[in-house]
Structure 1
């Protein structure tokens, strides 16, 4: 009877671990269908501009506001990016391995050595989370959601710092 119970515990643990892995890597993600208004960049005046793009692929998950990832190509490169707000603290977040158009390590290295430029896509897409875009000189573009300075403070349970919008009311 002891061997049976031990085997049952091992089987349940392996099954639970497999389910947890599946849910984290595949389960909550949805493929985003392009609408023609998917790539937005914020100009130096704060206005949001729709940008022309092609080859759009994106995923998102309702379980977290920072699971959004997108890949696209655009003709907005080089000097044209000068009219958009730079995003100096851009840190591309990892994507699931199966979303193979997006490589956070490559994007991060390109941002560090100047081969790509990070710009603000949408400020406070949801409270405390900005949508950030990185554009390469060849027109490859990548988008992710990143917690901004207001979100870092408020999500830690502290009051919003000066200059931040008030957090949404609790339900």
Structure 2
């Protein structure tokens, strides 16, 4: 009899722990980002400049610098954007939680691959080793996510960072 009770306690504990882990990964750490803005790095000044964005929704999490996601609408032509802002080759948007339904990473990736969306640098080292990537579509939608840059990839995989990377801030 006590073996069954122990088994049930272990099973219930595993279910509760699994549910808690799922909740924390998908919902628990994320929060809306009020007052978020969309910026693109100018080709001439090499500085991030705010662009007009409407219906902006953004989420972030303090648990990781690459959890930022945003969706918005814009009225910039892709031709003008390519002549004004720094493009990037980051063409693989990271998945967002399912409840953040405006950000569909596979669909965004397909648009980038098809050429109906282009990616631009939104900011260099917004966190150490992390760049902000902005995708603009030709039909006026836009998306933002964070990607590890070369310094971030080296830093997190244990490779020697080297002189090309900025000094990592002290914790």
1:42 match: 41
Deviations 1:34-61 (A, max 9, x none): 35xx100001131211101100001100
Deviations 1:101-153 (A, max 9, x none): 00000111111121100000001101100000000011100000000111101
What is the number of residues matched between the two proteins?
A: 168
The DSSP-based 3-state class of the residue aligned with 2:157 is coil
Ranges of 4+ aligned residues in structure 1 off by more than 6 Å: none
Q: What's the TM-score, normalizing by structure 1?
A: 0.94
Q: Is the 8 A contact 1:85 1:119 kept in 2?
A: yes
In 1: Cα distance, 2:22 partner to 2:150 partner = 31
1:94 aligns with 2:100: no
1:6 aligns with 2:7: yes
1:66 match: 66
Q: What's the TM-score, normalizing by structure 2?
A: 0.94
1:32 match: 33
The structural deviation recorded for 1:160 is 1.9
The structural deviation recorded for 1:80 is 1.7
In 2: Cα distance, 1:149 partner to 1:106 partner = 26
1:55 match: 55
Q: Is the 8 A contact 2:73 2:140 kept in 1?
A: yes
Q: Is the 8 A contact 1:41 1:51 kept in 2?
A: yes
1:23 match: 24
The structural deviation recorded for 1:162 is 4.1
RMSD: 1.2
The structural deviation recorded for 1:33 is 1.2
In 1: Cα distance, 2:35 partner to 2:73 partner = 13
